[in-house]
Amino acid sequence: MAEVVFSSWGGKVIDNRKGGESQPAVFKLPDNYLDKGRIGAFMGWDGVIVFDKDVDVVGMAAEYMKRVQEKYCCAKCTPGKRGTRVMMDTLARILAGHGEERDLEILSGLADLLGNCKCTLCMTSAQPVLDTVQHFREDYLAYIRGGRKSKPAQAYFERITAPCIDRCPAHIDIPSYIEEIKEYRHAEALETIRRNMPIPAVCGRVCPHPCEQGCRRALVDEPVSIMVLKRVASDHEWMHHHQPPMRPKPPTGKKIMVVGAGPAGLTCAYYLALEGHQVKIIDMLTEPGGTVAVGIPDYRMPRPLLQREADIISALGVEIEYGVKLGRDVSLRELKEQYDAVFLGTGAFKSKPMGVEGEDQGYDGFSEGGIHYLRKVALGEPIVTPKRVVVVGGGNTAIDCVRVALREGAEESILLYRRTRKEMPAEPYEVDDAEEEGVQFAFLALPTKLITENNKIVGIEVQKMELGEPDESGRRRPEPVPGSEYILPCDLVIPAIGQDPDLGYLEDGDYGIQQTRWKSIVTHGGTMMTDNEGIFAGGDCEYGAMTVVLAVSHGRRAARVMHRYLTEGKVYLDVEDAMEDIYSNLGVFDKNEDIGICGGLHREHQPKVNGAERAKHYEEVELAMPESQAYREAERCLRCYRVGMLAVND
């Protein structure tokens, strides 16, 4: 990692230009930007970072402001429109040798003016320029006095972002679609969303919305309801019977096989089809959606809407064949021979073992796993849910299991979790919903042994726990309380502590595809390609069981790289991919930022079916947010855009 020559990032000045003992600074930036050259400097919303002492900082500031003004300023407010133009012209005049010393005061004054902008793009873009004026004043004076000529970098690369965009794995342009919803331009909002995510009805319902963890509005009062606003745009389309406008490009003649019709596979197929490629999907299930279809109950994600998302993708020319399992009905070798590229999006359907005595004995009343229980219920397969059910785990799957058990006739549905409610990885609102429906919780409880009579589960031995010091996850480690064991009577035990990929289809041949120690597929350099050229992978089978939105991001990234592979014969990241990764490593959200505005505009909540009565059916619990309410919520968005730019040299 290159040594920092100068940095004002985050208001902390590190200046190693004068020699002597250097001040250390660590930024998660690569030494090189793709194959374009070495990174000499980065300029953006929080200051300037210089790695190469020969970078022309004044020239970079002029180019930065030129791109901000000409490419990204929305021109919807006078301070932003006029302020960035004057700043751009002033910097250009200085660079041309026609500047005056008073121009430096003008630049400083303009930075104050831009603090009154409609959004934060122009405001934050003034910060790095102001830092260069303050800390590289002699360089400016050298231009003003005619003693210096411009020495631009070999290339500059810039990209717009926002804290919410950065936290979203799919990097959706969130402020844009929220603005479009505020202006009742729902079709345009959906078009914006679909540039990065083709299944908005799904991600508008079951996404864990990490974007909201990067929402600056939360530093004022509450985060914007970003996920629900995505659903608003999607609901508007199907409720008004509008047809999606997407049309594929002319056929390329290339054939691609996508294995798995889950979020990663559907996404990959969507973007490849738009490029004109011939895409076929095979899936072992009888319907689309993967884990979303058979692992997320209908009261959270109605399957007719999931089917609609798949139908939209099929309308682009994508063929979907169900009931075909890789490794059983067809081999990976056959697919590699028949298609120009293959994408593996096979998910994670293998339940993790609990590690308790008796779980591998085949007892009646011991479920193979939470994902298997949910799948049997979803597909209507023969399964009996007895009166007293215990589910072990603390994630969303565990919560879904205890809630489904009630709907399937359980009189008592109990969740065991070895930590406290605060440490549960499940979404807090899902836990609240479960409690409202009558689910019972046993916290600080660790199952240790299955209790049986005549080969049938009659209970589970549980040991009480207490929290010790934090472990590698940052959560306090649960530690057993000696002598605290007790028996919890039950008729069915469902372990729901996680899933692993099932890569059995790689066992019928030497494909050269590496696996991690967690039995997930290894891909390289962010390209999503495996060690076997032309075979790509993404979603849960590549990362382990994670989130829908992460699977979507994998599918889109893979499709983009596969398109280059199919049309150019090369696998590489482009400047958009690379800058997304740089921003993710650098970080865009500052949880300690002082926003400096008054709060009080609290978050709008979508209507919901309340009470324990809803546990008797599978109708959707969370209802559509009225568009008038969505307008009020969209008004809370602060439009927190930023622009970052790299200077790259040989």
Q: Which residues pair with 350 in a beta bridge?
A: 500
* Mean pLDDT across 154-158: 96
pLDDT tens digits, 598-645:
888 999 999 999 888 899 999 999 999 999 999 999 999 999 999 999
What is the distance between the alpha carbons of residues 503 and 500, in angstroms, rounded to a whole number?
9
Tokens representing 618 are 């599978």
398-438 pLDDT, tens digit each: 999 999 999 999 999 999 999 999 999 999 999 999 999 99
Q: How confident is the model at residue 114, as a pLDDT?
A: 80
Q: Which residues, at least 6 apart from 453, have a Cβ–Cβ distance to it below 8 Å?
A: none
Q: For the chain, percent helix, then strand, then coil, each to nearest 5?
A: 40, 20, 45
Q: Which of 11-25, 152-166, 340-354 has the lowest mean pLDDT?
A: 11-25
Please check the confidence at residue 1 and state whether its pLDDT lies above 60: no
Say what percent of the chain tops pLDDT 70: 99
pLDDT value of position 289:
96
pLDDT of res. 396: 93
Q: Provide the β-strand partners of residue 7.
A: 14, 49
- pLDDT, tens only, 520-554: 999 998 999 999 999 999 999 999 888 999 999 99
Q: Please check the confidence at residue 63 and state whether its pLDDT lies above 80.
A: yes
Measuring CA to CA, how many Å separate 347 from each of 263, 548, 576? Answer: 9, 11, 26
The whole-number pLDDT of residue 497 equals: 93
Give the containing element (helix H, strand E) for 337.
helix 332-338
- DSSP calls for 194-243: HTT-S-HHHHTTS---GGGGG-GGGGTS----HHHHHHHHHHHHHHTTPP
231-267 tens-digit pLDDT:
999 999 999 999 999 999 999 999 999 999 999 999 9
Residue 83 has pLDDT above 90, yes or no: no
Sign of the dihedral defined by the CA atoms of residues 642, 578, 554, 473, in that order: negative
Mean pLDDT of 555-571: 97
pLDDT on residue 217: 96
Residue 110: pLDDT band (50, 70, 90) is confident
Position 92 scores a pLDDT of 95
Element (H, E) at 86: helix 78-95
pLDDT tens figures, 474-523: 778 899 999 999 999 999 999 999 999 999 999 888 899 999 998 899 99
pLDDT at 20: 66
Across 166-180, average pLDDT: 97
This prediction has a pTM of 0.94
| Lowest model confidence (mean pLDDT) among 174-183, 214-223, 355-364, 564-573 | 355-364
Q: How confident is the model at residue 358 (pLDDT cuts 50, 70, 90)?
A: confident
CB 620 within 8 A of CB 299: yes
Q: Share the mean pLDDT of the chain.
A: 94
Contacts of 345 (CB under 8 A, 6+ apart): 258, 259, 260, 262, 263, 264, 265, 268, 290, 537, 538, 539, 541, 551, 554, 555
Which domains, and CATH codes, for the chain?
6-164+644-649 (1.20.1440.230), 255-349+501-572 (3.50.50.60), 351-498 (3.50.50.60)
Q: What token pair was written down for 127?
A: 């910060």
